[in-house]
Chain A
Amino acid sequence: NAGVTQTPKFQVLKTGQSMTLQCAQDMNHNSMYWYRQDPGMGLRLIYYSASEGTTDKGEVPNGYNVSRLNKREFSLRLESAAPSQTSVYFCASSFVRGQGHQPQHFGDGTRLSIL
């Protein structure tokens, strides 16, 4: 049981390049999330997908796009990378229904540097 799998684990880009971060979960969770974590800033939500077929903006969506490909997969795309997007990116998933929240499970993260 792999849980939440993120690829790649490390990436270095030049300003203006594009790339897609991949995330897949095998826990049959309905909700998936993308966060970035910077020193002293805690986890900040970029985008989330409450269920297959839906996506919504989080706290810091500018410069990013997402695709919920199916129930298992949720990708994050940087169309034109900027140095301010240098960060550690975490994908997470959970089961949320009605009033009930199960805890989030996190992937190992992607360490992204934009030069």
Chain B
Amino acid sequence: DQQVKQNSPSLSVQEGRISILNCDYTNSMFDYFLWYKKYPAEGPTFLISISSIKDKNEDGRFTVFLNKSAKHLSLHIVPSQPGDSAVYFCAAPGGTSYGKLTFGQGTILTVHP
């Protein structure tokens, strides 16, 4: 089955600097990965995704990098802003079939003014 791990429960960054959030997965049977952002008392919202035919995908200040050999994803936010303070989840398809999206434990990002 698929396991998704975000080993850093929290990250603190100064405004204007780069935020780097990391994610590891175990099963590469499916090749589409996603990042979600969640504010308190709200549902998660989609942020950015990447297909395994790419090793990088950019959307404004957000860039996701994929290292398939290491089964590792990272999300870069440049420059970080206080409004980026939220919980970030990475997600990968389940290990044996479509239909299951497995999420990591989440990383709490705090951007200080």
| Bound together | no
- Interface of A toward B, CB cutoff 8 Å: none
Question: Which residues of B does A touch, CB under 8 Å?
Answer: none
